[in-house]
Amino acid sequence: MDGMVEELESAVARWDESGWPRPRVMVVSGSGLAVDLGDPGRHSRPMGDFLPFGTGHVDGHPHTFDLLAADTDRPVLYQRGRLHSYQGYDGHETAFSIRLAALLGVKTVILSNAAGGLRQESRPGDLMLIRDHINLIGLNPLRGELPEGWGPRFPDLTAAYDLELRRVARDEAARLGMELDEGIYAAVAGPSYETPAEVSMLRAMGADLVGMSTALEVIAARHMGLRCLGFSLVANLASGMVAEPLVHTEVLAAAEEASGRLRELLVRLLERPELYAD
């Protein structure tokens, strides 16, 4: 937290010095979901070039910033991979790139993640739109003193996942003939998967999905007035719901296998003017 504001200011300066135009929309990909959204050409760099700390390594996360459609008036910052609290990052570090995007003028952020399905009828490969989240990570990126100009001390999270953008997403999914149910995402700290008892608790709480990301980024994004849209790809049924144990490589493989549909939907969504509105 110490020095974060200055670090963000120098990250903004580094961005501008790079000669890259400022983005309007941001996309953040989850585990195994760094799908091809277009050729960034020379506009692709390791995230570490812009951040004041390293990105570590997690399989399924390339950790690059790509700038798509850089020569149009609608550039898109595509963050391929993310930082998780289970890697040891605090709430502020986890949300750093979201804040960088907000300071650069991004208005809308689309986040994807691989998640465990909590509904009995869920199947690996199902794509769900996040309607709301339950933050059980035990961190909040708004802890501590933040510049007043960034946003309110006590931001409202009533419609954290934007109603209009969810309608647009459902609309595009329907046009593609894709099923897209909405669900509640429970964010947990990880990195161990849940016990079956924890899965029972999450189901009793009303969660439909469980994963280890997204909620902190959405809190930081809403604080700064960004509109959010979140997609979960069900990579597995949560622990205890099936006989087999959970293995990260298999979770990744399932996410990658089904990622083509997410790609299709994202490509269509990025064409919608609603995303770029002020």
**For residues 174 and 231, what is the distance between their CA atoms, to the nearest angstrom?**
15
Using CB under 6 A as the binding rule, the residues of this chain from 243 to 272 that contact ligand HPA are 246, 251
Number of residues that bind ligand HPA (CB under 6 A): 13
Q: Which of 51, 169, 210, 221 binds ligand HPA (CB under 6 A)?
A: 210
**b/e for 223-233, b at 16 or more Cβ within 10 A?**
bbebbbbbbbb
Amino acid at residue number 202: L
Using CB under 6 A as the binding rule, the residues of this chain from 24 to 63 that contact ligand HPA are none
Question: What are the tokens at 155?
Answer: 């931001």
Q: Which of 194, 208, 217, 256 binds ligand HPA (CB under 6 A)?
A: 194
Please state the closest distance from residue 46 (CB atom) to ligand HPA, in A: 24
**For residues 52 and 47, what is the distance between their CA atoms, to the nearest angstrom?**
10
Q: Which segment (144-152, 164-172, 207-215, 217-225) binds ligand HPA by CB under 6 A?
A: 207-215
Of 67 and 215, which has the nearer Cβ to ligand HPA? 215
Q: Which of 4, 115, 142, 169 binds ligand HPA (CB under 6 A)?
A: 115
Indicate the DSSP class of residue 21.
Answer: P
Using CB under 6 A as the binding rule, the residues of this chain from 212 to 241 that contact ligand HPA are 212, 235-236, 238
Q: Which segment (37-45, 159-167, 204-212, 218-226) binds ligand HPA by CB under 6 A?
A: 204-212
In which element (H, E) is residue 46 found? strand 44-46
**For residues 140 and 200, what is the distance between their CA atoms, to the nearest angstrom?**
25
**For residues 255 and 276, what is the distance between their CA atoms, to the nearest angstrom?**
28
**For residues 174 and 94, what is the distance between their CA atoms, to the nearest angstrom?**
33
Please state the closest distance from residue 47 (CB atom) to ligand HPA, in A: 21
| Interaction between residue 211 and ligand HPA (CB under 6 A) | yes
Tell me which residue has its CB nearest to ligand HPA.
Answer: 116
**For residues 220 and 235, what is the distance between their CA atoms, to the nearest angstrom?**
26
Which residues contact ligand HPA (rule: CB under 6 A)? 114-116, 193-194, 210-212, 235-236, 238, 246, 251
